[in-house]
């Protein structure tokens, strides 16, 4: 089975993000493989282990995004491709999904495409469905379990009310949630192999996208949330009972109870 997993490089979730001159910055904080995408990579590898075939990790991003692709290779993906072109600077999800769909078509004969639930930075959570729409393939979001049947898949979707079972023909696009598996750590051999791997770069032109691209959604400005100030008051007393009574009086005075 020819499988693609789409991955994004994001700032570490522990990074402190600040706003400078209307733009988000995370300073020197490390960039990582989007944590949700580790589950997508793991599921792609598990599917290959069950059914055979090949897993290609695909990312659209700057040169540094190679590091995220190397982690996907170290975990066990067979190949990785970076889509990188100045045309994609300030791309919105419509442009990114168009580029990813074009990259998937260029790979040919793909049967399954995995996405993470969302990226931890932009967090729109729409790219899987948008890419499926571009490909004209079924989109199955929030997958928490997948089983394979002759030319079809059965997926348990994680929804608020419980789990919904859906069946789909292939090819299909699936976004996964973290309940689906436990991502493996890259092995020492995997890390060595990834460090030597060639990661080809595909330009916009090489995937059939040319001319100027203007995003439908633009980001004119970002601003930090208003800082809220709070006062802290300690209730003192000679005994626990006196403190409790003082606390109850204050809560009643503030109409909390
Ligand atoms: C410098 C910069 C400028 C930007 N300017 C704009 C702008 O002007 N207008 C605007 O609307 N957006 C802008 N964006 C956001 C950009 O459009 C999104 O980062 C991108 O479309 C992906 O959306 P998302 O991160 O919300 O993905 P989600 O939909 O939340 O991600 C879902 C899944 O899609 C996959 N995925 C996400 N991104 C990629 C990727 N790049 N390659 C491969 N797989 C991926 C992953 O599996 C991920 O788990 C900008 C981003 C950057 C870095």
Q: Map residue 169 onto helix, strand or coil.
A: strand
Which residue from 93, 123, 140 has its CB within 8 A of the most atoms of ligand 1, so it is best to mutate?
93
Residue among 120, 113, 169 nearest 141 (CA): 113
pLDDT at 150: 86
Cα–Cα nearest to 153, from 133, 137, 177, 135: 137
* Structural domains of the chain sorted by starting position, each given as residue range(s) with its CATH number in brackets: 2-207 (3.40.50.620)
CA distance linking residue 249 with residue 257, whole number of Å: 9
pLDDT tens-digit readout, 201-224: 999 999 999 888 899 999 888 888
Tell me which residue of 14, 11, 36 sits closest to 125, measured CA to CA.
Answer: 36
d(CA 160, CA 127): 21
Whole-number Å distance, alpha carbon 128 to ligand 1 midpoint, is 11
Closest residue by Cα to atom 15, ligand 1, is 92
pTM (predicted TM-score)? 0.90
Please report the pLDDT score of residue 118 as a whole number.
Answer: 97
CA of 223 to the centre of ligand 1 (A): 19
Residue nearest atom 37 in ligand 1 by C-alpha distance: 8
Record the tokens describing residue 255, joined without a space: 């109409």
pLDDT at 125 over 90: yes
Q: With contact defined as beta carbons under 8 Å apart, do 103 and 69 qualify?
A: no
* Element housing 5 (H / E): strand 2-6
**Average pLDDT of the chain, as a whole number:** 94
Q: Assess whether pLDDT exceeds 90 at residue 257.
A: no
Instruction: With a cut of 90, say whether residue 154 has pLDDT above it.
Output: yes
Task: Report the percentage of the chain scoring pLDDT > 90.
Answer: 82
Across 39-47, average pLDDT: 98
């Amino acid at each position: 089975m020819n499988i693609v997993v789409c991955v994004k490089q994001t700032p570490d979730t522990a990074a402190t993000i600040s706003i400078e001159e209307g733009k988000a910055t995370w300073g020197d904080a490390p960039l990582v493989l989007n944590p949700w995408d580790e589950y997508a990579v793991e599921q792609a590898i598990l599917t290959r282990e069950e059914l055979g075939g090949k897993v290609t990790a695909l990312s659209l991003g700057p040169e540094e995004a190679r590091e995220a692709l190397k982690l996907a290779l170290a975990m066990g993906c067979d190949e990785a491709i970076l889509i990188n072109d100045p045309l994609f600077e300030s791309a919105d999800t419509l442009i990114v999904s168009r580029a990813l769909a074009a990259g998937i078509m260029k790979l040919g004969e793909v049967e399954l495409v995995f996405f993470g639930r969302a990226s931890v930075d932009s967090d729109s959570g729409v790219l899987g469905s948008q890419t499926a729409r571009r490909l004209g393939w079924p989109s199955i979001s929030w997958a928490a379990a997948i089983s394979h049947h002759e030319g079809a898949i059965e997926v348990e979707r994680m929804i608020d009310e419980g789990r919904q079972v859906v069946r789909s023909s292939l090819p299909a696009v699936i976004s996964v949630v973290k309940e689906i598996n436990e991502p493996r750590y890259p092995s020492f051999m995997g890390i060595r192999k990834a460090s030597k791997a060639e990661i080809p770069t595909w330009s916009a032109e090489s995937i059939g996208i040319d001319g100027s691209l203007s995003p439908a959604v633009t980001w004119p400005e970002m601003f930090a949330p208003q800082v809220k100030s709070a006062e802290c008051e300690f209730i003192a007393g000679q005994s626990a009972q006196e403190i409790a009574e003082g606390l109850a009086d204050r809560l009643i005075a503030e109409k909390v109870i």
